[in-house]
Amino acid sequence: MSPAEIRAAVIDILETIAPDEDLSNLDDAKEFRDQMELDSMDFLDIVMELRKRYRVQVPEEDYENLVSMASTVSYLEPKMADIPAE
């Protein structure tokens, strides 16, 4: 998957987890928590969806890499490189 496809996949997951959030103006450089009302359970749901949909394992020590869209895409890019876009 390309970075744009990974971003779209993460947006899709966020829309599932936080359906009431407006993601149209999401700033990729800002932390998700500064832009959305996400709690720790929502964050774990994101990790679980990545595992369920794409078989991407995110160890707990790597959670800090998923704080913003930019850091999430950068972290996932090598892990999702061989996954075909949906």
Task: Find the angle CA(82)-CA(68)-CA(73) to the nearest 5 degrees.
Answer: 15
Domain span at residue 64 reads 3-80
**pLDDT tens digit string along 40-76?**
899 999 999 999 999 999 999 999 999 999 999 999 9
In a domain, 86, yes or no: no
Q: What is the CATH number of the domain that holds 46?
A: 1.10.1200.10
Backbone angles phi, psi at 68, to 5 degrees: -135, 170
In a domain, 24, yes or no: yes
At 84 the pLDDT is 82
Q: What is the largest CA-CA distance in the chain?
A: 32
Query: What is the pTM assigned to this prediction?
Result: 0.91
At 83 the pLDDT is 84
In a domain, 76, yes or no: yes
**pLDDT tens digit string along 3-54?**
999 999 999 999 999 999 999 999 999 999 899 988 889 999 999 999 999 9
Query: Count of domains in the chain?
Result: 1
In a domain, 85, yes or no: no
